[in-house]
Amino acid sequence: MKLFYGWVIVGAGALMGCVAIGALFSLAVFLQPMSDATGWSRTGISTAMTLDFLTMGVAAFGWGVLTDRFGPRIVVLSGAVLLGLGLVLASRATSLLEFQLVYGVLVGAAAGAVFAPMMVTVTGWFDKHRGLAVSIVSAGMGVAPMTISPFAQWLISSYDWRTAQFVIGIAAWVLLVPAALLVRRAPAATAATPGVPAEGGEDMTARQALRSPQFIVLGLTFFCCCAAHSGPIFHTVSYALACGLPAMTAVTIYSVEGLAGLGGRIVFGLLGDRFGARRVVVVGLMLQALGAGGYYFTRDVGEFYTVAILFGLAYGGVMPLYAVIAREYFPMRIMGTVFGGASMIASLGMALGPAAGGWIFDTFGGYGYLYIGSFGIGLAAVAIALAFPSRRAESGGAPQPA
């Protein structure tokens, strides 16, 4: 039986997402060792992650446009080269500003070349099981805290933060470049799929799509979702350490959060195929808000693991479904631009959490206000998601308001 090549794309996307996003978020593990070794403030180091998200967002839009025009292979290959380069150069940084610019710009641009283009590419390869396929790709990102972060912690404990970051950069090249060469553009659609007519709406321009109510609600929901979870994710390890837990235990909590996110991606993907992505996203966003708020009350190991499971399940589950929702609204030929634009908006939300959490800790000596704020923003995401317009009509044409 011949293997459908779409599943090869899924496997390559999962691996690339694991390495790229895992390397990006491994900065959470480096936060305290870097601060201790260099004297740089947590706010300053966290700002590099804020720059990452800002750069990733702008880059995702640009990479999305290039994906529509030239195909995904050259885009993800460029991202693979940039990621290794950014990590290697960041490991040699001699000042905080240099580190912020190198890590924040090159690594962020590289991550933007993987996430949005691969999610978009997979939506084009699948009609049936689309939610499951994009969830598996996203699951690779969920695996990242269980792979790159523990590996980074082991390297730091055995060597130092500079050597650890250098090694991760080399490993990124070794793994990502071959995977990028497997990526292909999706074949042209030959039949209509639910909510995405083969003919209707194909004359929609990218400008019309970006001004549609569907895109506006999608972008705002994505923004608030990411703003709600970015701070708690990035500061999980530091918060656990501040509560008196050992370093490796703190990292395992971060890993459990990622493991729950992995399960959430698969479960929510299956539920999205069965009940509709928009309904499942609303439920997931409510669980995410409760998980973020729950961290405010956690102190011991058992409580941390319980909240990490709920929070990881929720934020991991909803993330891939935004690509499914976008594909329900817009034709494939402009999906790179559309989802890249939505990812750019989302990255602004992602950029808030790391720097805000670092500032809150430096100012108040704790993370309490971070979790209260994340809970409130999470509820806002739920409210906005409830306003999703209806899908464009089965008969075709541009999206219509509800």
Question: For the ranges 203-212, 248-257, 391-400, which has the lowest average pLDDT?
Answer: 391-400
Please state the domain extents for the chain: 5-185+204-385
Distance from CA of residue 344 to its chain's centroid? 11
Q: How far apart are CA 227 and CA 72, in angstroms?
A: 28
Helix (H) or strand (E) holding 234: helix 213-234
Q: How far apart are CA 111 and CA 84, in angstroms?
A: 11
Q: Is the pLDDT reported for residue 401 higher than 50?
A: no
Asked whether the beta carbons of 55 and 109 are under 8 A apart, the reply is yes
Can you give the pLDDT at residue 303? Answer: 92
Asked whether the beta carbons of 72 and 181 are under 8 A apart, the reply is no
Q: What CATH number labels 5-185+204-385?
A: 1.20.1250.20
Q: How far apart are CA 392 and CA 216, in angstroms?
A: 15
Q: What is the largest CA-CA distance in the chain?
A: 62
Higher pLDDT, 243 or 57: 243
Calculate mean pLDDT across residues 169-178.
93
Phi, psi of 398 (to 5 degrees): -70, 160
User: What pLDDT band is residue 390 in, cutting at 50, 70 and 90?
Assistant: low
Identify which of 13-27, 54-68, 294-308 has the greatest average pLDDT: 294-308
Asked whether the beta carbons of 192 and 198 are under 8 A apart, the reply is yes
Calculate mean pLDDT across residues 201-210.
78
Higher pLDDT, 29 or 89: 89
Helix count (H) and strand count (E) of the chain?
A: 18, 0
At 68, the amino acid letter reads: D
At 365, the amino acid letter reads: G
Can you give the pLDDT at residue 175? Answer: 93
Q: Is the pLDDT reported for residue 394 higher than 60?
A: no
**Tokens encoding 121:** 């590419």
Q: How far apart are CA 257 and CA 255, in angstroms?
A: 5
Q: Which tens digits make up the pLDDT trace of 303-353?
A: 999 999 999 999 988 988 898 888 888 888 888 889 888 988 988 888 788
User: What pLDDT band is residue 51 in, cutting at 50, 70 and 90?
Assistant: confident
DSSP codes, 32-99: HHHHHHH---HHHHHHHHHHHHHHHHHHHHHHHHHHHHH-HHHHHHHHHHHHHHHHHHHHT--SHHHH
Asked whether the beta carbons of 121 and 186 are under 8 A apart, the reply is yes
Q: Would you state the torsion angle of the CA atoms of residues 240, 55, 179, 5, taken in this order, to the nearest 10 degrees?
A: 100
CA-based nearest residue to 355, from 370, 377, 368, 334? 370
Asked whether the beta carbons of 227 and 292 are under 8 A apart, the reply is no
Q: Would you state the torsion angle of the CA atoms of residues 138, 141, 146, 150, taken in this order, to the nearest 10 degrees?
A: 180
Can you give the pLDDT at residue 54? Answer: 82
Can you give the pLDDT at residue 202? Answer: 61
Q: Is the pLDDT reported for residue 400 higher than 90?
A: no
CA-based nearest residue to 398, from 130, 170, 122, 210? 210
Give the residues across from 193 on adjacent strands.
196
Tell me what the pLDDT averaged over the chain comes to. 85
**Tokens encoding 393:** 């009509």
Name the 3-class secondary structure at 242: helix
Calculate mean pLDDT across residues 50-67.
86
Counting every residue written for the chain, the total comes to 402
User: What single DSSP character describes residue 204?
Assistant: -
Q: Is the pLDDT reported for residue 15 higher than 50?
A: yes
Give the residues across from 196 on adjacent strands.
193
Instruction: Return the percent helix, strand and coil in the chain, to nearest 5.
Output: 80, 0, 20
